[in-house]
A = this chain, B = another copy of it.
Amino acid sequence: MLHVGINGFGTIGKRVADAVRVQPDMTVAGVAKRSPNFEATIADDRGYDLYAADGREPFDEADLATAGTVHDLIETSDVVVDTTPSGVGAANAPLYAEHDTPAIFQGGEDADVADVSFNARANYEKAVGADTARVVSCNTTGLSRLLAPLRESYGVEKSRVTLVRRGADPGQTGRGPINDTLPDPVEIPSHHGPDVQTIFPDLDIDTMGMKVPTTQMHTHSVNVTLESEPTTEEVTSLLTDESRLFLIPETLGIDGAGKLKEYTRDAGRPRGDVWENCIWAESITVERRDLYLFQAIHQEADVVPENIDAVRALSERTASAEKSIRRTDEALGVGR
């Protein structure tokens, strides 16, 4: 049984904790938080040991029991998943090293925070036995999962992607824009392309980013110039076989993220989470060597199974990507 500590119990952290909990080979060592808000109540309900990230006083005042400080959590964990806000992870890195505890960081950190930038489908092996890994961002995860099979089957000459990003997560009421489409960043290519190259160093990819007034999912318009000329049907079939890609059938009548998440909520998924890239099946189009498609990425969820796989890779318990991915997916319900 792997004891996994979660440092930072917010959007990503609480999902990773719940995902750890349902794995047959892992258990939640505890979670570290700063303040006793509604998410602390949730940790308490789930029975996760609560560790104080900054000091125990606020929790004492709110009558929430804490099991120790973040140092105690790191000490008690076989692996720590750091899910603090971007930048804080890098500041925490020396802590994990000091305790000699393998650590996983998130995509908000720079690539050099860790030995390996990680995506389970694309480069699991590189993280096996590493001290630290960085699970790449939600957008990079989404692109890596899509590009990996395309590269293997057809070769990728060049990829051009426009990422139309949600302005805020549903609870982030302070963030905009309210009524605007922002080129963000204005510079082209955006940082997303180089981030994908931390997974595929030799990939030729140009990305353009925008920000729009939605809270639900990112949407990518993807163009991939392949090195060979498959048919639309062949590509569709290739992508259908990938467990972390969901091809939305036309008959479901799903026109966007709203109905998509209504569907997963209806299906009874925890938090209505969409762990898979969602590709509109009708949109898949091959014209000569040019593949086009639309995919939606649930920013809060797609990195969650990747974190689980990263834990297995660092701990060296599971040497094969396929085996870890299958285990994660079965336990969580990915691909169902």
Binding site for B on A (CB under 8 A): 14, 35-39, 41-42, 45, 62, 160, 162, 164, 166-168, 170-184, 186-189, 206, 208, 210, 212-217, 219, 221, 223, 250-259, 261-263, 265-268, 270-272, 280, 282-283, 285, 287, 290, 292-294, 296
Contacts and interface: CB of A to CB of B under 8 A. Distances in A.
Nearest to A290: B206
Contacts of A221: 162, 183, 208, 210, 221
Contacts of A212: 164, 181, 212-214
Given A179-B216, A181-B296, 5 more contacts: A162-B162, A162-B164, A167-B176, A178-B215, A183-B255
A120 B38 CA distance: 30
A231 to B, nearest CB: 15
A176 B179 contact: no
Nearest to A271: B265
B216 A180 contact: yes
Nearest to A222: B208
A96 to B, nearest CB: 26
B170 A214 contact: no
Given A164-B210, A221-B210, A179 B189 contact: no
B181 A217 contact: yes
Contacts of A208: 162, 221, 292, 294
A178 B179 contact: yes
A181 B257 contact: yes
A42 B162 CA distance: 33
B258 A186 contact: no
Nearest to A58: B251
Contacts of A164: 162, 164, 181, 210, 212
A38 B178 contact: no
A174 B262 CA distance: 16
B294 A255 contact: no
Contacts of A271: 265-266, 272
Contact of A170 (B186, B219, B261, B283): B261
B180 A173 contact: yes
Q: Which of A215, A258, A293 has the most CB of B within 10 A?
A: A258
22 contacts: A36-B251, A39-B266, A45-B267, A162-B162, A162-B221, A170-B261, A173-B182, A173-B256, A174-B176, A176-B176, A177-B258, A181-B217, A181-B219, A181-B256, A183-B256, A183-B283, A186-B280, A188-B294, A206-B287, A210-B221, A213-B214, A268-B270
Contact of A178 (B39, B213, B280): B213
A39 B253 CA distance: 9
